[in-house]
Amino acid sequence: MILKNYKIAFTTIALIGVLLIATPALSIYVHLPSGTQFSDIYLLGPNHLATGYPFDITVGQNYTTYVVIANHLVAPAYYIAYVKLRNQTDLLPNVTTGMPSPVQPLYEYRSFLGNGENCIYTLTFSFPSVSFSKSHCLIKDLTINNSTYQLNKPATWDSTNKGFYYELLVELWVYNSQTNKVEFNQHFVGIYLNMTMPG
């Protein structure tokens, strides 16, 4: 009986030893799930912090924020971040259905990032030509990083919040090697802007 117990103990120790020795070799063939895999995008204010975002906007003045893209997909990835300007009636991206905002992109950032890498892009913008009436605001032009885009984007007076509101929106898209397309990644960030009438 004692000899049988020794055989069981010896066999158990031998199997544990084989598993310990074989584990590195098995990792080549067996891929265990590793943490959550995701991409991320966020905006930083003018001091590279998550504060101090521009809000009350004066016509012709430059404002600077920073777009940060981060790759945590456990593989290299190709990204495009599209900058859009929406008013109160333009639709936001729909994360549930995976649909981006239908608003046309104005500007884009492209990057190829390895796993764990991130990049920071400057987003400097201004509104050189805006017209106002009592109940309407019309943005005629938007300048992003020294490139000017004609818009004619209207907004109506928001009597509850007392302003003409827009949102500067940045959507994250990533290349999908299975479909061979760049697709909306269901991540986006934005800052609300109140166009202020001249004094």
SS3 87: coil
Query: Is the same domain home to 90 and 162?
Result: yes
HSE, CB side, 13 Å, CA atoms: give it for residue 110.
2
SS3 60: coil
Contacts of 157 (CB under 8 A, 6+ apart): 134, 135, 136, 137, 163, 164
- In this prediction the pTM is 0.81
Whole-angstrom distance, CA of residue 139 vs CA of residue 6: 85
Domain count within the chain: 2
Taking residue 3's Cβ as centre, other Cβ atoms within 10 Å add up to 6
Contacts of 50 (CB under 8 A, 6+ apart): 42, 43, 44
Query: Is the same domain home to 44 and 25?
Result: no
Query: Is the same domain home to 95 and 25?
Result: no
Whole-angstrom distance, CA of residue 81 vs CA of residue 41: 9
Question: What residues make up the domain containing 2?
Answer: 1-32
Q: What pLDDT digit, counting tens, does each position of 99-150 carry?
A: 999 999 999 999 999 999 999 999 999 999 999 998 999 999 999 999 999 9
In 3D space, the residue among 144, 108, 106 whose CA is nearest the CA of residue 127 turns out to be 144
Q: Using the predicted structure, report yes or no on whether residue 22 has a pLDDT greater than 50.
A: no
Q: What pLDDT digit, counting tens, does each position of 46-84 carry?
A: 999 999 999 999 999 999 999 999 999 889 999 999 999
Cβ(169)–Cβ(107) under 8 Å?
Answer: no
Query: Is the same domain home to 147 and 182?
Result: yes
Cβ(189)–Cβ(106) under 8 Å?
Answer: no
Per-residue pLDDT band at 36 (split at 50, 70, 90): confident
Work out whether the CA dihedral 6, 10, 11, 16 comes out positive or negative: positive
Query: Is the same domain home to 11 and 59?
Result: no
